[in-house]
Amino acid sequence: MNDLFEKAKEVLPHSYAHYSKFKVAAAIRLQDGKIITGVNVENASFGLTNCAERTALFTAFTQGYRKEDITEMVVTTEKDYIISPCGACRQVMSELMTPDALIHMVTKSGKVTTVKNKELLPLAFQESDL
């Protein structure tokens, strides 16, 4: 998990948080050992903003990976308190990651809270609900 945290910290300055000034970075580990990162990218039309978690996941899927390939994710910010994924990210994560994938929420100083993906969004809207 430490290497994921280091990768997330490394890309955190690349966040485009022009409006909120709230930078977020994510890093996901794939079964083949590859690490993919993402940052939040804001837009003046706030609804078009993309969070770090979704950026990392969409990048992995663009490269041909699927949820079974993702073992864990780190989410970090410049804050020294735990930040959890937003509701939109939780919904996307519930579909694009396995239920047992580990989600590590890490403070600036390295304090970690870890949960399984399925714990972030109980009763998530799923494909079976369609």
Q: Which candidate in 53, 68, 119, 127 is catalytic?
A: 53
Has 53 been annotated as catalytic?
Answer: yes
Return the percentage of the chain with pLDDT > 90, whole number: 91
- Give the pLDDT confidence of 36-50 residue by residue, as tens digits: 999 999 999 888 899
Burial class (CB in 10 A: 0-12, 13-18, 19+), 125: exposed
Single out the residue of 20, 78, 72 nearest to residue 50, CA to CA. Answer: 20
pLDDT above 90: residue 86: yes
Single out the residue of 49, 60, 129, 45 nearest to residue 93, CA to CA. Answer: 60
CATH class, domain 2-129, is alpha beta
